[in-house]
Amino acid sequence: MASRLTTVEYFEREETLRPMELVHGIVREPPAPRYGHQSLVTRAIVLLDQHVRAHQLGLVCVSPIDVVLDRDRALVVQPDLIFVSRQRTDIVRDRVWGAPDLVVEVLSRRTAVRDRTEKLGWYTQYGVRECWFVDPASRTVTIVDCEAGDTTFPRAFHGPAAVESRVFPLLSRHAEEFFE
């Protein structure tokens, strides 16, 4: 069994651009994402960053960025994309120390189940307001309202449907734009 690390020990490791998470003391190091995954992450960051900057809403960042959900329980994740509202930018320092307002996970065959179950559970538990799943297989953007506490009724948007977000109520993007 792998030895457990504390959050402090994890952050003392050498900096890397490889995806890595600390899950209750165990380091997970999946292989680097494939090109198709990263191109969707790039598209999502461009669309959301344009919106956030135009309306001065806060900060958007792309992975790898450590998001410390629970320092004491050694839970550090790296969502594909995060948004922190202007009112909460104090959680952004050397890392993100707390739950972002929004996380985006681009699904892949290797990560979809974990993203939709384990990670969504953490996001809901630790105070993420919204979680978006960008699914290249179905070309769908699915939004889970984590604040509602009920993750069983996500809203799915595809094709020309306008993406509707409580975190970004002024967002004017169609689901298909995330896949162009």
pLDDT at position 3: 79
Q: Give the pLDDT confidence of 24-67 residue by residue, as tens digits.
A: 999 888 888 889 999 999 999 999 999 999 999 999 999 999 99
Evaluate whether residue 10 is within a structural domain.
no
> Rounded distance, CA 150 to CA 145, Å?
8
Evaluate whether residue 158 is within a structural domain.
yes
Average pLDDT of the chain is 93
Return the ∠ at Cα 48 (arms to 47 and 54), rounded to 5°.
95
30-34, 65-69, 79-83, 91-95: range with lowest mean pLDDT: 30-34
Evaluate whether residue 56 is within a structural domain.
yes
- Hey, what are 36's tokens? 């198709």
Evaluate whether residue 112 is within a structural domain.
yes
Evaluate whether residue 58 is within a structural domain.
yes
Under the banding of pLDDT at 50, 70 and 90, the label for residue 106 is very high
Evaluate whether residue 172 is within a structural domain.
yes
65 vs 148, higher pLDDT:
65
pTM, full prediction:
0.92
When computed from its CA atoms, the radius of gyration of the chain, rounded to whole angstroms, is 16
Is the per-residue pLDDT at 102 higher than 90?
yes
Q: What is the CATH number of the domain that holds 104?
A: 3.90.1570.10
Is the per-residue pLDDT at 151 higher than 90?
no
Evaluate whether residue 46 is within a structural domain.
yes
Which residue do the tokens 């410390």 mark? Answer: 68
Evaluate whether residue 28 is within a structural domain.
no
- Is residue 155 left, alpha or beta, with left meaning phi > 0 and alpha meaning psi from -120 to 50? beta
**Residue ranges making up the domain that contains 117:** 34-179
Q: Establish how many alpha carbons lie within 13 A of residue 138's alpha carbon, considering only the half-sphere containing its beta carbon.
A: 13
pLDDT at position 1: 54
- What is the number of structural domains in the chain? 1
Is the per-residue pLDDT at 152 higher than 80?
no
Q: Residue 166: which residues within 8 A CB-CB, separation 6 or more? A: 129, 130, 145, 147
pLDDT at position 2: 63
